[in-house]
Structure 1
Amino acid sequence: MKTYGLIGYPLSHSFSKKYFTEKFQNEGIINHQYELFPIADIKSLADLLVENPSLCGLNVTIPHKVNVLCYLNEVDEAAEKIGAVNCISIKNFEGETYLKGYNTDAYGFEESLKPMLGPQHTKALVLGDGGAAKAVKYVLEKLDIQYQVVVRTPAPNAILYSEITPQILSSHQLLINTTPLGMAPNIDTFPEIEYNLLGPGHLAYDLVYNPLETAFLAKAAEQGATIKNGLEMLYKQAEKAWSVWNK
Protein backbone atom coordinates (compact mmCIF):
# COMPACT_ATOMS: atom_id res chain seq x y z
CA MET A 1 0.00 0.00 0.00
CA LYS A 2 1.23 3.48 -0.90
CA THR A 3 -0.08 6.26 1.30
CA TYR A 4 -0.28 9.97 0.50
CA GLY A 5 -1.78 12.65 2.67
CA LEU A 6 -2.28 16.21 3.79
CA ILE A 7 -0.74 17.83 6.87
CA GLY A 8 -2.09 21.04 8.36
CA TYR A 9 -4.36 22.21 11.16
CA PRO A 10 -7.29 22.24 11.31
CA LEU A 11 -8.32 20.03 8.40
CA SER A 12 -12.09 20.35 8.29
CA HIS A 13 -12.56 19.84 4.57
CA SER A 14 -9.99 18.80 2.00
CA PHE A 15 -10.01 19.20 -1.77
CA SER A 16 -6.93 16.97 -1.91
CA LYS A 17 -8.45 13.92 -0.21
CA LYS A 18 -11.53 14.01 -2.45
CA TYR A 19 -9.43 14.65 -5.55
CA PHE A 20 -6.90 11.87 -5.05
CA THR A 21 -9.40 9.32 -3.72
CA GLU A 22 -11.51 9.84 -6.86
CA LYS A 23 -8.40 9.79 -9.04
CA PHE A 24 -7.31 6.43 -7.65
CA GLN A 25 -10.80 5.00 -8.19
CA ASN A 26 -11.37 6.45 -11.67
CA GLU A 27 -7.94 5.52 -13.02
CA GLY A 28 -7.83 2.07 -11.45
CA ILE A 29 -4.81 2.92 -9.31
CA ILE A 30 -4.88 0.14 -6.74
CA ASN A 31 -3.12 -0.09 -3.37
CA HIS A 32 -3.02 3.71 -3.07
CA GLN A 33 -4.77 5.74 -0.38
CA TYR A 34 -4.95 9.41 0.61
CA GLU A 35 -5.42 10.37 4.26
CA LEU A 36 -5.75 13.52 6.35
CA PHE A 37 -3.16 14.09 9.07
CA PRO A 38 -4.24 17.05 11.23
CA ILE A 39 -1.09 18.03 13.16
CA ALA A 40 -1.12 21.25 15.15
CA ASP A 41 2.63 21.23 15.78
CA ILE A 42 5.06 20.59 12.92
CA LYS A 43 7.36 18.80 15.40
CA SER A 44 4.88 15.90 15.12
CA LEU A 45 6.04 15.27 11.53
CA ALA A 46 8.83 12.90 12.61
CA ASP A 47 6.41 10.75 14.60
CA LEU A 48 3.94 10.78 11.71
CA LEU A 49 6.58 9.36 9.36
CA VAL A 50 7.51 6.62 11.83
CA GLU A 51 3.88 5.68 12.45
CA ASN A 52 3.06 5.61 8.71
CA PRO A 53 5.94 3.82 6.94
CA SER A 54 3.88 3.52 3.72
CA LEU A 55 3.87 7.34 3.26
CA CYS A 56 5.25 8.33 -0.16
CA GLY A 57 4.15 11.94 -0.38
CA LEU A 58 2.47 14.77 1.51
CA ASN A 59 0.61 17.93 0.66
CA VAL A 60 1.16 20.77 3.13
CA THR A 61 -1.35 23.44 4.07
CA ILE A 62 -1.81 26.16 6.70
CA PRO A 63 -0.06 26.66 9.09
CA HIS A 64 2.94 24.53 8.05
CA LYS A 65 3.95 25.75 4.56
CA VAL A 66 6.85 27.77 5.99
CA ASN A 67 7.70 26.07 9.29
CA VAL A 68 8.11 22.66 7.58
CA LEU A 69 11.19 23.92 5.69
CA CYS A 70 13.67 23.16 8.48
CA TYR A 71 12.50 19.52 8.60
CA LEU A 72 13.33 18.82 4.94
CA ASN A 73 16.55 17.39 3.47
CA GLU A 74 16.18 19.43 0.28
CA VAL A 75 13.86 21.94 -1.40
CA ASP A 76 13.53 22.62 -5.11
CA GLU A 77 14.45 25.99 -6.61
CA ALA A 78 10.93 27.42 -6.75
CA ALA A 79 10.10 26.46 -3.16
CA GLU A 80 13.39 27.95 -1.98
CA LYS A 81 12.76 31.28 -3.74
CA ILE A 82 9.14 31.42 -2.59
CA GLY A 83 10.03 30.41 0.95
CA ALA A 84 7.08 28.03 1.24
CA VAL A 85 6.42 24.35 0.55
CA ASN A 86 3.07 22.71 -0.19
CA CYS A 87 4.27 19.32 -1.47
CA ILE A 88 6.79 16.83 -0.07
CA SER A 89 8.18 13.72 -1.70
CA ILE A 90 9.21 10.95 0.71
CA LYS A 91 11.91 8.51 -0.36
CA ASN A 92 13.70 5.86 1.66
CA PHE A 93 17.40 5.25 1.01
CA GLU A 94 19.11 2.47 2.97
CA GLY A 95 16.80 2.89 5.92
CA GLU A 96 17.02 6.68 5.90
CA THR A 97 13.98 8.84 5.09
CA TYR A 98 14.70 11.63 2.59
CA LEU A 99 12.25 14.53 2.35
CA LYS A 100 12.26 16.97 -0.58
CA GLY A 101 9.97 20.00 -0.65
CA TYR A 102 8.29 21.59 -3.65
CA ASN A 103 5.89 24.46 -4.30
CA THR A 104 3.27 23.26 -6.78
CA ASP A 105 1.05 26.30 -6.05
CA ALA A 106 3.37 28.37 -8.25
CA TYR A 107 3.06 25.87 -11.11
CA GLY A 108 -0.74 25.74 -10.76
CA PHE A 109 -1.06 29.53 -10.67
CA GLU A 110 1.27 30.09 -13.63
CA GLU A 111 -0.34 27.46 -15.86
CA SER A 112 -3.86 28.73 -15.16
CA LEU A 113 -2.90 32.41 -15.55
CA LYS A 114 -0.81 32.34 -18.75
CA PRO A 115 -3.64 31.58 -21.22
CA MET A 116 -5.61 34.56 -19.84
CA LEU A 117 -2.88 37.18 -20.29
CA GLY A 118 -3.12 39.90 -22.93
CA PRO A 119 -0.50 42.41 -24.09
CA GLN A 120 -1.92 44.99 -21.65
CA HIS A 121 -1.20 42.82 -18.60
CA THR A 122 2.29 44.15 -17.89
CA LYS A 123 1.52 45.37 -14.37
CA ALA A 124 -0.44 43.72 -11.56
CA LEU A 125 -2.00 44.63 -8.24
CA VAL A 126 -1.52 41.83 -5.71
CA LEU A 127 -4.27 42.20 -3.12
CA GLY A 128 -2.97 40.90 0.22
CA ASP A 129 0.50 39.84 1.29
CA GLY A 130 0.00 36.66 3.32
CA GLY A 131 1.31 33.19 2.60
CA ALA A 132 -0.78 32.77 -0.54
CA ALA A 133 0.86 35.83 -2.11
CA LYS A 134 4.33 34.27 -2.02
CA ALA A 135 3.79 31.94 -4.98
CA VAL A 136 1.89 34.64 -6.89
CA LYS A 137 4.76 37.13 -6.60
CA TYR A 138 7.27 34.46 -7.65
CA VAL A 139 5.27 33.71 -10.82
CA LEU A 140 4.79 37.39 -11.69
CA GLU A 141 8.54 37.94 -11.42
CA LYS A 142 9.14 34.88 -13.59
CA LEU A 143 6.71 36.23 -16.23
CA ASP A 144 8.31 39.70 -16.04
CA ILE A 145 5.08 41.31 -14.82
CA GLN A 146 5.66 44.25 -12.49
CA TYR A 147 3.46 44.20 -9.41
CA GLN A 148 2.32 46.39 -6.54
CA VAL A 149 1.23 44.76 -3.29
CA VAL A 150 -1.88 46.23 -1.61
CA VAL A 151 -2.57 45.70 2.12
CA ARG A 152 -4.96 46.89 4.83
CA THR A 153 -2.32 47.89 7.37
CA PRO A 154 0.95 49.69 6.53
CA ALA A 155 3.78 47.37 5.44
CA PRO A 156 7.11 47.76 3.63
CA ASN A 157 6.95 47.77 -0.19
CA ALA A 158 3.15 47.86 -0.13
CA ILE A 159 0.43 50.47 -0.48
CA LEU A 160 -2.90 50.73 1.31
CA TYR A 161 -6.22 50.19 -0.44
CA SER A 162 -6.94 53.88 0.18
CA GLU A 163 -3.82 54.78 -1.83
CA ILE A 164 -4.98 53.09 -5.06
CA THR A 165 -5.51 55.98 -7.46
CA PRO A 166 -7.47 55.88 -10.72
CA GLN A 167 -4.09 56.07 -12.50
CA ILE A 168 -2.85 52.97 -10.68
CA LEU A 169 -6.00 51.03 -11.57
CA SER A 170 -5.65 52.16 -15.17
CA SER A 171 -2.02 51.08 -15.51
CA HIS A 172 -2.34 47.84 -13.50
CA GLN A 173 -4.76 45.81 -15.58
CA LEU A 174 -4.17 42.50 -13.77
CA LEU A 175 -5.77 42.21 -10.31
CA ILE A 176 -5.03 39.18 -8.13
CA ASN A 177 -6.86 38.55 -4.87
CA THR A 178 -4.69 36.48 -2.54
CA THR A 179 -6.82 37.22 0.55
CA PRO A 180 -9.61 34.99 1.92
CA LEU A 181 -12.13 37.81 1.37
CA GLY A 182 -15.25 36.42 -0.30
CA MET A 183 -14.59 32.81 0.70
CA ALA A 184 -17.57 30.86 2.01
CA PRO A 185 -19.21 31.40 4.41
CA ASN A 186 -18.21 35.10 4.26
CA ILE A 187 -19.34 35.49 0.65
CA ASP A 188 -20.35 39.16 1.04
CA THR A 189 -16.78 40.34 1.72
CA PHE A 190 -14.44 41.66 -0.97
CA PRO A 191 -11.28 43.79 -1.39
CA GLU A 192 -12.13 47.49 -1.14
CA ILE A 193 -11.20 48.90 -4.55
CA GLU A 194 -13.01 51.22 -6.98
CA TYR A 195 -14.63 48.57 -9.15
CA ASN A 196 -16.35 51.21 -11.29
CA LEU A 197 -12.90 52.13 -12.65
CA LEU A 198 -12.36 48.65 -14.11
CA GLY A 199 -13.04 47.86 -17.75
CA PRO A 200 -12.82 45.22 -20.48
CA GLY A 201 -9.01 45.37 -20.46
CA HIS A 202 -8.78 44.21 -16.85
CA LEU A 203 -8.26 40.62 -15.73
CA ALA A 204 -9.42 39.79 -12.20
CA TYR A 205 -8.02 36.56 -10.77
CA ASP A 206 -9.18 35.22 -7.41
CA LEU A 207 -7.28 32.45 -5.62
CA VAL A 208 -10.57 31.67 -3.83
CA TYR A 209 -12.67 28.97 -5.53
CA ASN A 210 -15.53 28.56 -3.05
CA PRO A 211 -17.83 30.09 -4.21
CA LEU A 212 -16.81 29.82 -7.86
CA GLU A 213 -17.74 33.47 -8.37
CA THR A 214 -16.76 35.63 -5.42
CA ALA A 215 -18.05 39.14 -4.85
CA PHE A 216 -14.65 40.38 -6.12
CA LEU A 217 -15.09 38.53 -9.41
CA ALA A 218 -18.77 39.47 -9.77
CA LYS A 219 -18.05 43.16 -9.27
CA ALA A 220 -15.19 43.04 -11.78
CA ALA A 221 -17.33 41.17 -14.33
CA GLU A 222 -20.06 43.82 -14.03
CA GLN A 223 -17.53 46.31 -15.43
CA GLY A 224 -16.64 44.06 -18.38
CA ALA A 225 -13.44 42.63 -16.90
CA THR A 226 -12.33 39.06 -17.63
CA ILE A 227 -12.50 36.90 -14.49
CA LYS A 228 -10.87 33.68 -13.29
CA ASN A 229 -11.19 31.75 -10.02
CA GLY A 230 -8.65 29.51 -8.31
CA LEU A 231 -10.19 26.13 -9.14
CA GLU A 232 -8.03 25.33 -12.17
CA MET A 233 -4.94 26.35 -10.19
CA LEU A 234 -5.96 23.81 -7.54
CA TYR A 235 -6.35 20.98 -10.07
CA LYS A 236 -3.08 21.79 -11.78
CA GLN A 237 -1.10 21.94 -8.52
CA ALA A 238 -2.61 18.58 -7.50
CA GLU A 239 -1.55 16.95 -10.78
CA LYS A 240 1.90 18.47 -10.39
CA ALA A 241 2.14 16.96 -6.90
CA TRP A 242 1.21 13.56 -8.35
CA SER A 243 4.00 13.84 -10.92
CA VAL A 244 6.47 14.87 -8.20
CA TRP A 245 5.58 11.84 -6.07
CA ASN A 246 5.97 9.51 -9.04
CA LYS A 247 9.32 10.80 -10.30
Structure 2
Amino acid sequence: PFKFEAPALAAVCSERVHLAGAANTLSFQADGSIHADNTDGLGLVADIEQGAGFALAGRDVLLVGAGGAAAGALGPLLAAGPRRVVVANRTLERAQALVQSHAALAALQKTELSAQSPQVLEQDFYLIINATASSLAGAEVPVPAHVLRPGSLAYDMMYGPAAESFLGWARQHGATPRDGLGMLVEQAAEAFRIWRGVRPPGPQVLAELRALMAAH
Protein backbone atom coordinates (compact mmCIF):
# COMPACT_ATOMS: atom_id res chain seq x y z
CA PRO A 1 0.00 0.00 0.00
CA PHE A 2 3.01 2.35 0.26
CA LYS A 3 4.56 1.83 -3.17
CA PHE A 4 4.20 5.49 -4.08
CA GLU A 5 5.73 6.69 -0.79
CA ALA A 6 8.62 4.19 -0.77
CA PRO A 7 10.89 6.00 -3.29
CA ALA A 8 11.20 8.96 -0.92
CA LEU A 9 13.09 6.72 1.52
CA ALA A 10 15.73 5.74 -1.03
CA ALA A 11 19.03 7.38 -1.90
CA VAL A 12 19.03 5.64 -5.28
CA CYS A 13 16.02 4.72 -7.42
CA SER A 14 16.13 2.48 -10.48
CA GLU A 15 14.92 3.71 -13.85
CA ARG A 16 11.87 1.48 -13.38
CA VAL A 17 11.01 3.39 -10.21
CA HIS A 18 11.43 6.74 -11.96
CA LEU A 19 9.11 5.63 -14.76
CA ALA A 20 6.47 4.04 -12.52
CA GLY A 21 6.68 6.59 -9.72
CA ALA A 22 6.49 3.65 -7.31
CA ALA A 23 8.74 1.06 -5.67
CA ASN A 24 7.94 -2.37 -4.28
CA THR A 25 11.49 -3.42 -3.32
CA LEU A 26 13.91 -1.66 -0.98
CA SER A 27 17.43 -3.00 -0.48
CA PHE A 28 19.88 -1.88 2.18
CA GLN A 29 23.46 -1.37 1.00
CA ALA A 30 26.71 -1.88 2.91
CA ASP A 31 27.10 1.88 3.38
CA GLY A 32 23.65 2.09 4.96
CA SER A 33 21.97 3.67 1.95
CA ILE A 34 18.65 2.43 0.61
CA HIS A 35 18.09 1.51 -3.03
CA ALA A 36 14.57 1.31 -4.49
CA ASP A 37 13.39 -0.84 -7.37
CA ASN A 38 10.12 -1.94 -8.93
CA THR A 39 9.91 -5.61 -9.90
CA ASP A 40 6.21 -5.75 -10.80
CA GLY A 41 6.67 -5.26 -14.53
CA LEU A 42 9.63 -7.63 -14.66
CA GLY A 43 7.45 -10.27 -13.01
CA LEU A 44 4.66 -9.66 -15.49
CA VAL A 45 6.92 -9.96 -18.54
CA ALA A 46 8.64 -13.07 -17.15
CA ASP A 47 5.29 -14.80 -16.59
CA ILE A 48 3.97 -13.84 -20.02
CA GLU A 49 7.07 -14.90 -21.94
CA GLN A 50 8.34 -17.83 -19.88
CA GLY A 51 5.25 -18.99 -18.03
CA ALA A 52 2.67 -18.56 -20.79
CA GLY A 53 5.11 -18.88 -23.69
CA PHE A 54 3.96 -15.69 -25.43
CA ALA A 55 6.84 -13.72 -26.95
CA LEU A 56 6.26 -9.96 -26.86
CA ALA A 57 8.75 -8.81 -29.49
CA GLY A 58 7.01 -7.38 -32.54
CA ARG A 59 3.50 -7.88 -31.13
CA ASP A 60 0.50 -5.62 -30.51
CA VAL A 61 -0.37 -5.17 -26.83
CA LEU A 62 -3.38 -3.60 -25.12
CA LEU A 63 -2.78 -2.42 -21.55
CA VAL A 64 -6.10 -1.68 -19.84
CA GLY A 65 -5.83 0.79 -16.97
CA ALA A 66 -3.56 3.70 -16.13
CA GLY A 67 -3.13 3.43 -12.37
CA GLY A 68 -0.24 2.15 -10.30
CA ALA A 69 -0.38 -1.41 -11.65
CA ALA A 70 -0.24 -0.21 -15.26
CA ALA A 71 2.53 2.28 -14.46
CA GLY A 72 4.67 -0.47 -12.96
CA ALA A 73 4.13 -2.71 -15.98
CA LEU A 74 4.56 -0.35 -18.92
CA GLY A 75 8.33 0.16 -18.77
CA PRO A 76 9.27 -3.55 -18.79
CA LEU A 77 6.60 -4.22 -21.42
CA LEU A 78 8.19 -1.65 -23.72
CA ALA A 79 11.66 -3.05 -23.00
CA ALA A 80 10.46 -6.42 -24.34
CA GLY A 81 10.15 -4.85 -27.81
CA PRO A 82 6.47 -5.03 -28.84
CA ARG A 83 5.47 -3.42 -32.13
CA ARG A 84 2.65 -1.42 -30.61
CA VAL A 85 1.26 -0.73 -27.13
CA VAL A 86 -2.10 0.95 -26.57
CA VAL A 87 -2.97 2.16 -23.06
CA ALA A 88 -6.75 2.25 -22.65
CA ASN A 89 -8.42 3.92 -19.70
CA ARG A 90 -11.85 5.35 -18.96
CA THR A 91 -10.20 8.61 -17.92
CA LEU A 92 -8.26 9.29 -21.10
CA GLU A 93 -6.10 11.99 -19.51
CA ARG A 94 -4.54 9.46 -17.13
CA ALA A 95 -3.68 7.16 -20.03
CA GLN A 96 -2.20 10.08 -21.94
CA ALA A 97 -0.05 11.06 -18.95
CA LEU A 98 1.26 7.49 -18.64
CA VAL A 99 2.06 7.40 -22.34
CA GLN A 100 3.85 10.75 -22.15
CA SER A 101 6.03 9.62 -19.24
CA HIS A 102 7.14 6.57 -21.25
CA ALA A 103 7.46 8.26 -24.64
CA ALA A 104 11.27 8.36 -24.63
CA LEU A 105 11.56 4.65 -23.84
CA ALA A 106 9.00 3.80 -26.52
CA ALA A 107 10.96 5.82 -29.08
CA LEU A 108 14.18 4.07 -28.05
CA GLN A 109 12.51 0.68 -28.52
CA LYS A 110 10.87 1.81 -31.77
CA THR A 111 7.50 0.86 -30.28
CA GLU A 112 4.35 2.75 -31.25
CA LEU A 113 2.79 3.92 -27.97
CA SER A 114 -0.61 5.60 -27.73
CA ALA A 115 -3.56 6.24 -25.41
CA GLN A 116 -7.20 5.55 -26.22
CA SER A 117 -10.58 5.40 -24.55
CA PRO A 118 -11.83 1.79 -24.27
CA GLN A 119 -15.05 2.53 -26.16
CA VAL A 120 -13.22 3.63 -29.32
CA LEU A 121 -10.88 0.64 -29.60
CA GLU A 122 -11.22 -0.90 -33.06
CA GLN A 123 -8.37 -3.37 -33.65
CA ASP A 124 -7.65 -6.70 -32.02
CA PHE A 125 -4.50 -7.52 -30.06
CA TYR A 126 -2.09 -10.37 -29.49
CA LEU A 127 -2.02 -9.63 -25.76
CA ILE A 128 -4.59 -7.91 -23.54
CA ILE A 129 -3.56 -7.07 -19.97
CA ASN A 130 -6.18 -6.06 -17.44
CA ALA A 131 -4.43 -3.76 -14.96
CA THR A 132 -7.66 -2.34 -13.54
CA ALA A 133 -9.54 -3.28 -10.38
CA SER A 134 -12.63 -4.25 -12.41
CA SER A 135 -12.27 -7.94 -11.55
CA LEU A 136 -11.91 -7.21 -7.85
CA ALA A 137 -14.98 -4.99 -7.90
CA GLY A 138 -17.05 -7.49 -9.89
CA ALA A 139 -17.57 -4.92 -12.63
CA GLU A 140 -17.96 -5.62 -16.33
CA VAL A 141 -14.85 -6.21 -18.42
CA PRO A 142 -13.70 -2.68 -19.32
CA VAL A 143 -13.03 -3.30 -23.04
CA PRO A 144 -15.15 -4.65 -25.93
CA ALA A 145 -14.80 -8.30 -26.95
CA HIS A 146 -13.55 -7.48 -30.45
CA VAL A 147 -10.12 -6.58 -29.01
CA LEU A 148 -9.58 -10.34 -28.69
CA ARG A 149 -8.43 -12.46 -31.60
CA PRO A 150 -8.45 -16.28 -31.62
CA GLY A 151 -5.51 -17.39 -29.51
CA SER A 152 -4.90 -13.99 -27.91
CA LEU A 153 -3.51 -14.07 -24.40
CA ALA A 154 -5.92 -12.34 -22.01
CA TYR A 155 -4.03 -11.62 -18.80
CA ASP A 156 -5.57 -10.37 -15.57
CA MET A 157 -3.15 -9.09 -12.93
CA MET A 158 -5.60 -10.35 -10.31
CA TYR A 159 -5.64 -14.03 -9.33
CA GLY A 160 -7.96 -16.43 -7.57
CA PRO A 161 -11.72 -15.75 -7.51
CA ALA A 162 -11.15 -12.05 -8.24
CA ALA A 163 -9.91 -12.87 -11.75
CA GLU A 164 -12.64 -15.33 -12.73
CA SER A 165 -15.00 -12.90 -14.47
CA PHE A 166 -12.27 -11.62 -16.79
CA LEU A 167 -10.88 -15.10 -17.43
CA GLY A 168 -14.35 -16.44 -18.19
CA TRP A 169 -14.93 -13.58 -20.63
CA ALA A 170 -11.65 -14.45 -22.36
CA ARG A 171 -12.56 -18.13 -22.69
CA GLN A 172 -15.99 -17.26 -24.03
CA HIS A 173 -14.41 -15.29 -26.86
CA GLY A 174 -11.73 -17.79 -27.85
CA ALA A 175 -8.73 -16.25 -26.09
CA THR A 176 -6.21 -17.93 -23.81
CA PRO A 177 -6.85 -16.79 -20.22
CA ARG A 178 -4.17 -16.36 -17.57
CA ASP A 179 -4.36 -14.90 -14.09
CA GLY A 180 -1.69 -12.89 -12.30
CA LEU A 181 -0.45 -15.51 -9.85
CA GLY A 182 2.64 -16.06 -12.00
CA MET A 183 3.33 -12.33 -11.96
CA LEU A 184 3.16 -12.40 -8.16
CA VAL A 185 5.69 -15.24 -8.03
CA GLU A 186 8.04 -13.77 -10.63
CA GLN A 187 8.14 -10.28 -9.10
CA ALA A 188 8.93 -11.86 -5.73
CA ALA A 189 11.68 -13.97 -7.34
CA GLU A 190 13.23 -10.83 -8.81
CA ALA A 191 13.07 -9.07 -5.43
CA PHE A 192 14.73 -12.10 -3.82
CA ARG A 193 17.52 -11.86 -6.42
CA ILE A 194 18.08 -8.21 -5.48
CA TRP A 195 18.27 -9.09 -1.79
CA ARG A 196 20.16 -12.39 -1.93
CA GLY A 197 21.86 -12.57 -5.32
CA VAL A 198 20.01 -15.78 -6.23
CA ARG A 199 16.80 -15.97 -8.27
CA PRO A 200 14.37 -18.74 -7.29
CA PRO A 201 12.93 -20.76 -10.21
CA GLY A 202 9.64 -18.98 -10.84
CA PRO A 203 7.86 -21.69 -12.88
CA GLN A 204 8.66 -24.35 -10.28
CA VAL A 205 7.45 -22.16 -7.42
CA LEU A 206 4.29 -21.29 -9.37
CA ALA A 207 3.49 -24.95 -10.05
CA GLU A 208 3.88 -25.80 -6.37
CA LEU A 209 1.78 -22.81 -5.33
CA ARG A 210 -1.05 -23.72 -7.72
CA ALA A 211 -0.98 -27.30 -6.40
CA LEU A 212 -1.26 -26.05 -2.82
CA MET A 213 -4.14 -23.74 -3.74
CA ALA A 214 -5.96 -26.54 -5.58
CA ALA A 215 -5.64 -28.78 -2.53
CA HIS A 216 -7.45 -26.22 -0.41
Q: TM-score range by the shorter chain?
A: 0.7 to 0.9
Residue matched to 1:141: 78
Aligned partner (choices 35, 39, 54) of residue 100 of structure 1 = 35
Moved more, 70-79 or 218-227: 70-79
Is 1:175 matched with 2:128?
yes
Match of 2:119 in 1: 162
Question: Runs of 5+ in structure 1 lacking a partner?
Answer: 1-61
1:142 partner letter: A
Could you say what secondary structure the match of 1:242 adopts? helix
1:151 to 75, 86, 89: 89
User: Alignment partner of 1:81: what SS?
Assistant: helix
Contact 1:120 1:201 in 2 (8 A): no
Instruction: Answer whether contact 1:127 1:191 (CA < 8 A) is retained.
Output: no
Other-structure match for 1:109: 44
Corresponding residue to 2:7 among 37, 48, 69 = 69
Change (3 A) 1:177 1:245: same
Q: Partner of 2:135: helix, strand, or coil? A: coil
CA distance in 1, matches of 2:189, 2:116: 35
Q: Residue 79 of structure 1 is aligned with which of 17, 24, 46?
A: 17
Q: For residue 177 of structure 2, what is the aligned residue in structure 1?
A: 227
Higher helix share: 2
In structure 1, C-alpha distance between the alignment counterparts of 2:17 and 2:57, rounded to whole Å: 29
Give the whole-Å Cα distance in 2 for the aligned partners of 1:119 and 1:110: 8
Higher-Rg member (1/2): 1
Q: CA deviation at 1:92?
A: 5.1
Conservation of the 8 A alpha-carbon contact between 1:121 and 1:174: no
Are the structure 2 counterparts of residues 119 and 127 from structure 1 closer, same or farther at C-alpha, using a change threshold of 3 Å? closer
Find out whether 1:215 has 2:152 as its counterpart. no
Does the residue aligned with 2:92 lie in a helix, a strand or coil?
coil
Question: CA deviation digits over 1:103-124, x for unaligned, max 9?
Answer: 1112211110113315897111
Contact 1:177 1:206 in 2 (8 A): yes
1:123 equivalent in structure 2 = 60
Note the aligned Cα RMSD (angstroms).
2.2
Amino acid corresponding to residue 243 of structure 1 in structure 2? R
**1:135-180 superposed Cα distances (whole Å, 9 cap, x missing partner):** 2211221111121111112313521121112xx12xx221000001
Runs of at least 4 residues of structure 1 off by over 4 A?
Answer: 118-121
Structure 1 counterpart of 2:178, one-letter code:
K
2-structure distance, mates of 1:241, 1:192? 31
Q: Aligned partners of 1:134 and 1:213: how far apart in 2?
A: 20
- Does the CA contact (< 8 Å) of 2:70 and 2:131 recur in 1? yes
Deviation at 1:84, TM superposition (A): 1.9
Task: Measure, in 1, the Cα distance between the counterparts of 2:35 and 2:57.
Answer: 38
Distance across 2 between alignment mates of 1:231 and 1:210 = 8
Of Structure 1 and Structure 2, the greater strand share is in 1
Could you tell me how far apart the structure 1 residues matched to 2:43 and 2:168 are? 23
Secondary structure of 2:78's aligned partner:
helix
Cα offset, 1:223, TM superposition: 1.7
Separation in structure 2 between the aligned mates of residue 213 and residue 98 of structure 1, nearest angstrom: 38
- Secondary structure of the corresponding residue to residue 33 of structure 2: strand
2: CA distance, partners of 1:100 / 1:118: 30
